[in-house]
Amino acid sequence: VLFFAPISDIKNKLIYYKFLCPNNKILPKFNWLSYDIEKIIYLYNNLIKILLDYYNTSFIDNYNDLLGFIWHIFSISCSKLLA
């Protein structure tokens, strides 16, 4: 039996929380702009850790795909916010 993380559902939640546009454009989280750099990086790293820890405990078979997807979205979003 193979278990897969629902990447399309995660993508829809990222669109809902305004990390992505429906056309797959990655957005910075502008309401975090008032925080200092360390806090912003901490928040992004914490989101990555929470998502990956949640799905890693599920023993999913597409963990590497999920890791690449999550890392790509949040690292670009963080970079755009800090630029």
- The pLDDT value given to residue 1: 80
Instruction: Give the pLDDT band of residue 2 (cuts 50, 70, 90).
Output: confident
- Lowest average pLDDT, out of 19-28, 35-44, 53-62, goes to 53-62
Counting other chains too, the contacts that 52-55 makes at CB distance below 8 Å and 24 or more residues apart are 55/5
Calpha distance 41→19 (Å, rounded): 15
Question: Residues 44-63: what's their mean pLDDT?
Answer: 88
Residue written as tokens 């797959």?
24
- Cα 6–Cα 63–Cα 59 angle in degrees, nearest 5: 90
Question: Residues 55-69: what's their mean pLDDT?
Answer: 86
- The pLDDT value given to residue 33: 94
Query: Residue 70: exposed, middle, or buried by beta-carbon count in 10 A (0-12, 13-18, 19+)?
Result: buried
**What is the Cα gyration radius of the chain?**
13
